[in-house]
Amino acid sequence: MGARLLEVNNLKVAFPVGNVMAEAVRGVSFEINTGDAVGVLGESGSGKSVTALAILRLIPSTGRITGGSVKFAGEDILSIDEANMRRLRGRDLSMVFQDPLTAFNPALRIGRQLLNVIRTHTSTTVQQARTRALEVLDLVGLPNPARVMRSYPHELSGGMRQRALIGIALACNPKLLIADEPTTALDVTIQAQIVDLFHKLRSELDLTLLYITHNLDLMAELCDRAIVMYAGNVVEEGKVTDLFQAPRHPYTRMLIDCVPRLEDSRNRELTVIKGMPPTIGTTNPGCRFSPRCPSAVERCHVEYPEESFEAQRRFSCWNPRL
Amino acid sequence: MQNWGIPRRYLLLLHSIGASRTGLFGFCLVSVLALMAIFAPWIAPYEPTQVDMLNRLQPPSWSHWMGTDLTGRDVFSRLIWGARPSLQVGILAVLIGLPGGFAVGLLAGFYRGTMLETILMRIVEIIAAVPLLIVAIAVVGVLGVKPIAMGPFTITNEIKIVVVLGFLYIPGLARVVFAVAAAEATSDYIRARRIQGVRDFTLIVSDILPNCLSVVIVWGTLLTAGGVLAEAGLSFVGLGVQPPDASWGVMLSEARKFIFSGEWWLLFFPGLAISLTVIGLNLLGDALRDILDPRHYTGPRLD
């Protein structure tokens, strides 16, 4: 196990809803060590992406980080100035997005966008930057890197674009790569290729990865540890194998059950989690999942569950499945 | 297809212009005009200022295609030379207005919602409230129509007009650039580029600016037509090109006296030249907008 790289402590992010600030992330804590691959799992609106953006200090302009701390490589990055923060982004901390088409400027060639990032963060000559760019495109498995450099984003396929985007993210040897649903916009065969690519990069570059997704299978394949989020809280965290085999939180259990399996009989009804996740701004003194939870007890509705700890895992539930 | 080293997208642009009939017509008109202006000394059969008192007020004939004027100068030759000040003023004014319009529009659009945007765009609105021709007349009126010598440079009357027009073009250009830049600034790829740690300056210059180019090309074309009209108008009232030099405005001005006496060619040809130029530039601008703006575009795809 490597040294502690990222330490998120009681992070809170709020957005204005009407004229009050509503918390989208309500006290999230987790840690990542160098070399880890950590998955973040949750439905849309559970605060996964906002957490990631808060780590980069780039939440949408209406929102604010209202509490907690983020320590990256020992440095409190919520308090350093904007110029230094900008130098961290794209160099030590980089990110891959869900939709690789909208993440590129449609008017510029891939090469220009890639060289831009390299030359922003390192003091290299154009020639050195070019060499590095070709190297990185080759690393992410793009055939004919020189041609990719000359291409406009729309000339590449979805999978190639995502590879190129990962290439940009890796160009300056980041210490931490955040991948925000990097395969959601791709079709299944390409998804598998991208996951393979992440595997390869992890073993070759000793990459530290924070992998945000709602696809459990891909996460299980890629990550050692996972965090399950619901409505802005971490509800469970543990080794991926433990989470899959013996989830403690009912929400984790239900998420796993929701995925249809090939061996299921055709007549089995698909499992759904009844109800909707709470909208932002909903206040509820108890567990946020309690209105949808089949195993909720009286206490769940009135008091937020304390965190319970077991060997290498934690969860917040008054009535866990043991 | 052989392309003589011209990038493919420009060939496709030409191809798309050709695909729309009105665009092609506009493109041809503007090309003819530009060729006329560039090659005036070689095309024009006579010197534009050459007086021939024996052959004054001749109707169109084989030796003088568009007739001759009061002092026997060849109307056709003067028409060809007259394309020069028209296009000079039209194009140079846009080129002067462009950097200012771009700078203001890009900054205000990128920093939308900040103090900077408020200040810049309010100043732009103040300038926009000033009527173009009136100011041009006032400036030339104050400075006089004679060339002003400033050290090694002489400021000709055309330069004064061009500078005033260019300055007054800034608001219009700034607003169109602002609209595009503001939309681009909130797009996903700008967020992505921020996450990659790219500087604001780089974002503005190398990301947003290229995306504003198409609207600016369209606007620039349309504003060029405005410049042609302004030059003709100023020359007509005697504040632009000075006689005996040829300009369409000067020719019209001299032809005023002959409106009712039957020498129609003096009035007809310069008027036609101005109309065709403005029509051509407008048609070309419209065609370019259809091609460059995908929301309006219905023809073959350009990529």
A58–B195 C-beta distance less than 8 A: yes
B211–A106 C-beta distance less than 8 A: yes
- Cα dihedral A306, A307, A308, A310, rounded to 10, equals 180
What digits encode the pLDDT tens for the residues A17-51? 888 888 889 889 999 999 899 999 988 888 888 99
Cis before B244 (ω within 30): yes
**Shortest CA distance from B204: residue in chain A:** A105
Chain A residues close to B194, C-beta within 8 Å:
58, 89
Of the candidates A64, A61, A70, A81, the one whose C-alpha atom is nearest the C-alpha of residue A31 is A70
What digits encode the pLDDT tens for the residues A194-244? 888 998 888 888 889 999 988 888 888 889 999 999 988 999 999 999 888
Nearest Cα of chain A lies from the Cα of B182 at a distance, in angstroms, of: 15
Closest CB to A97: pick one of B190, B192, B210: B192
What is the interface pTM, i.e. ipTM, of the complex? 0.74
A102–B192 C-beta distance less than 8 A: yes
**Shortest CA distance from A87: residue in chain B:** B197
B207–A106 C-beta distance less than 8 A: no
Cβ pair B145, B242 in contact under 8 A? yes
The pLDDT of residue B277: 93
A168–B207 C-beta distance less than 8 A: no
B199–A120 C-beta distance less than 8 A: yes
Does residue B29 have a pLDDT over 70?
Answer: yes
Please give the C-alpha separations between residue A12 and each of B152, B185, B261, in angstroms, as whole numbers.
66, 27, 86
The pLDDT of residue A1: 56
**Helix (H) and strand (E) counts in chain B:** 12, 2
pTM above 0.95, yes or no: no
Closest CB to A95: pick one of B188, B189, B195: B195
List the beta bridge partners of residue A13.
A25, A65
The pLDDT of residue A307: 86
The pLDDT of residue A37: 92
What is the SS3 assignment for B278? helix
B:35-94 residues touching chain A, CB 8 A cutoff: none
Tell me the pLDDT band of B49, cut-offs 50, 70 and 90.
Answer: confident
B198–A58 C-beta distance less than 8 A: no
Tell me the pLDDT band of B22, cut-offs 50, 70 and 90.
Answer: confident
Does residue B296 have a pLDDT over 70?
Answer: no
Closest CB to B210: pick one of A89, A95, A108: A108
Nearest Cα of chain A lies from the Cα of B202 at a distance, in angstroms, of: 8
Distance of alpha carbon A130 from alpha carbon A100, whole angstroms: 22
B2 touches chain A (CB under 8 A): no
B206–A99 C-beta distance less than 8 A: no
Please give the C-alpha separations between residue B250 and each of B36, B92, B115, in angstroms, as whole numbers.
18, 20, 47
